[in-house]
Structure 1
Amino acid sequence: MMEDAGLRIHRTRSAVVEAARSIIDDAEENLTVALPASELSDFESSLRDAVERGALVLLLIHGAPTDADRSYGDRATAVRVIERGMAPLLVTADVRHGLTGQFQVLTSPSTASRSQVTEFANRNLAYNHFTMFLGNYWQLATERYVAERSAFPQTFTEFRFAVLEAALAMRDGVTLEARARVVPTAGGPETTVEGTVTNVRQNIVYPASSPSPAERSLTVAVDGESVTIGGLGATKETYECFEVTLERKG
């Protein structure tokens, strides 16, 4: 193993498994994982714990799972399947820590000496790999599982889950009303906006409605005008959201 400016090089299966588990265990908000279906069992416990902690877990499996009807409900928020060889081994946690490399380190330990996996604790690298995961591999893969839509009304302090739930409701033909505690991104005091959700911008579940891997927003009709609401740190939207309640209209 080599360390340099936050980088570590792993060449053995045991070291890669240990590093990947550690990264998964470290995730609190967003977790992306791409790995061969044959190796999933080594990470199931860590994935379950991440889901229980409330992390948004996106699991990309290389090759069709052995059981097409397998349930992933306690292992991920959403699961997609991609053809073997089309994606590397890749893990990112909270867009700040991750690893990437040749998945053969896991599947063919005898060739591990000719393969390598790089672990990184660097926000720029993590962001690049996070956006590559969502913008490339995730979009090429086939949706296999999405967590069941929640019952409404429901209040969200984690905006990414509000967007996911709104997207699932919209694709099911359910119209939602939103009541959000927000501040204007252009500056101003905290306020509350209420209205009908007319659009969702995201690319985690079908149908994708944004070309940007990191974009998550709600469009809400307020007094005959459309306003956009983003999560904490939002700059492009009309408002930055601290808390939002979604409920069925009518």
Structure 2
Amino acid sequence: MDDATLRAHLRRFGFSEKEVDTYLTLLAHGEAKASTIADVAGVSKRYVYSVSEALADRGFVEVNDHVVPTRIRARPPETVVNQLVTDAEAIKPALEARYTRAEPATDQFEVVKSRETVLKRIQGLIADSESELTLSIPIGRLSDVADELRAAVDRGVLVTLLITETDEPPADCCGVASITRIWGEPMPAMVTADDRVGLVAPAEMLTSTHSDTQAIVFSHPQLGPVIVGSFFGNYWPVGTEVAVTEPTSLPLTETNFRIAVVEATLWCRTETPLAARIEGRWTETNEPVDLECRIVGVTQGLIEPANSQFPIEASLTIDADGETYTVGGEGAFIEDIEAEQVTLREA
């Protein structure tokens, strides 16, 4: 687990950023004085004492104030995790007793009239994305979402970004996306996160001081793929590619097929021979598939030069024991295999 993911998990347990810094510093030392932790974590000694007491109450550390100076010791991670599991199991019966099962909420749509609100919604969608994000945004608004985009890339989200109303790559576009294109014309601001939530806003809503237009924020499992298809089918091909990320280190396991295809493309272009494990089903018989194979071809339209017949086409061609098969993602029917999980490694 990388550092960013670990920090995110700790925040889910109620840690603030400074508490994360303090706790990770203490873990690295095992046991230390408050002044040592304060210097390394970049916080005050008084704050370390306060945080340590809070962490001790939650079972993460032990504070020995019977010695001078006070020593703070991290409890063994196995002990901490076991205690968390025990606590969670202890409250489970009470939670179940209070739980009332409800039908899922109906699909939601929100009409937004304010430019500031539109930007906040876009920032929120980027921040909440888990695996894949598509975004078109005018050059003048890139700085408003750049930090959220870089954070998404850092946590492994596939970010495809189309920057509009510019014919020159922006100076600050490094690291904001996995694949970046530019286009000199205006277009609607479109964002989708994980194929299920998103926003569509007229171009002038983000560029004009006064606009009577409105944006639509949606949460709809059928609409998300439609917006993604429109983004890649109608707008992505007209853009000019200006930046592409480096491939992620191998081995790599992905349940998002589009990410697997992008990574395979990037590695194949380094002339690295790829092996793979494909788990899914045969599209003709619906029988399960679990194949060890070699990647012998990639078809895609996201990265130049594209070799797909249409922009959203994405597939792998594999060789398994001398037999050649094609692999597609969720809903595949033309390909031989519908993949549910792909593991890539160097052959």
TM-score under structure 1 length normalisation: 0.84
Maintained 8 Å contact 1:7/1:120: yes
Cα shift readout 1:83-141 (whole Å, capped 9, x = no counterpart): 222x21111111111111212222212x22x2221111122222211101011111110
Maintained 8 Å contact 1:182/1:193: no
Cα shift readout 1:17-37 (whole Å, capped 9, x = no counterpart): 111112112211110110111
Q: Secondary structure at the match of 2:222?
A: helix
Maintained 8 Å contact 1:32/1:91: yes
Q: Distance in 1 between the 2:306 and 2:325 partners?
A: 20
> For structure 1, which runs of at least 5 residues remain unmatched after alignment?
none
Question: Equivalent of 2:276, from 179, 201, 225?
Answer: 179
Question: Equivalent of 2:123, from 5, 12, 21?
Answer: 21
Q: Distance in 1 between the 2:223 and 2:289 partners?
A: 34
Maintained 8 Å contact 1:163/1:200: yes
Maintained 8 Å contact 2:166/2:182: yes
Q: Identify, as 1 or 2, the structure richer in strand.
A: 1
Aligned residues: 238
Maintained 8 Å contact 1:232/1:242: no
What is the identity, as a one-letter code, of the residue corresponding to 2:346? E
Mapped pair 1:244 → 2:343? yes
Q: Distance in 2 between the 1:23 and 1:219 partners?
A: 33
Q: Distance in 2 between the 1:241 and 1:23 partners?
A: 25
Cα shift readout 1:190-215 (whole Å, capped 9, x = no counterpart): 533222x2221221101222234443
Deviates more, 1:221-230 or 1:130-139: 221-230
Evaluate the alpha carbon distance shift between residue 184 and residue 244 of structure 1 in structure 2; reply closer, same or farther with a 3 A threshold: same
Q: Secondary structure at the match of 1:246?
A: strand
Maintained 8 Å contact 2:168/2:182: no
Aligned to 1:161: 259
Q: Distance in 2 between the 1:236 and 1:193 partners?
A: 21
Maintained 8 Å contact 2:141/2:206: yes
What is the identity, as a one-letter code, of the residue corresponding to 2:279? V
Evaluate the alpha carbon distance shift between residue 184 and residue 105 of structure 1 in structure 2; reply closer, same or farther with a 3 A threshold: closer
Q: Give the percent of matched residue pairs that are identical in Structure 1 and Structure 2.
A: 33
Name the larger-Rg structure.
2
Alignment of 1:1-250 (within 5 A): 6-64=108-166, 68=170, 70-73=172-175, 75-85=176-186, 87-109=187-209, 111-112=210-211, 114-150=212-248, 153-158=250-255, 159-172=257-270, 174=271, 176-185=273-282, 186-195=285-294, 197-231=295-329, 234-239=332-337, 240-247=339-346
Deviates more, 1:120-129 or 1:237-246: 237-246
Q: Identify, as 1 or 2, the structure richer in helix.
A: 2
Cα shift readout 1:171-229 (whole Å, capped 9, x = no counterpart): 45x1523231424323445533222x222122110122223444332101233321122
Maintained 8 Å contact 1:29/1:55: yes
Q: Report the alpha carbon displacement of residue 241 of structure 1 after superposing the two structures with TM.
A: 4.6
Q: Report the alpha carbon displacement of residue 68 of structure 1 after superposing the two structures with TM.
A: 4.8
TM-score under structure 2 length normalisation: 0.62
Maintained 8 Å contact 1:10/1:16: yes
Q: Distance in 1 between the 2:168 and 2:311 partners?
A: 29
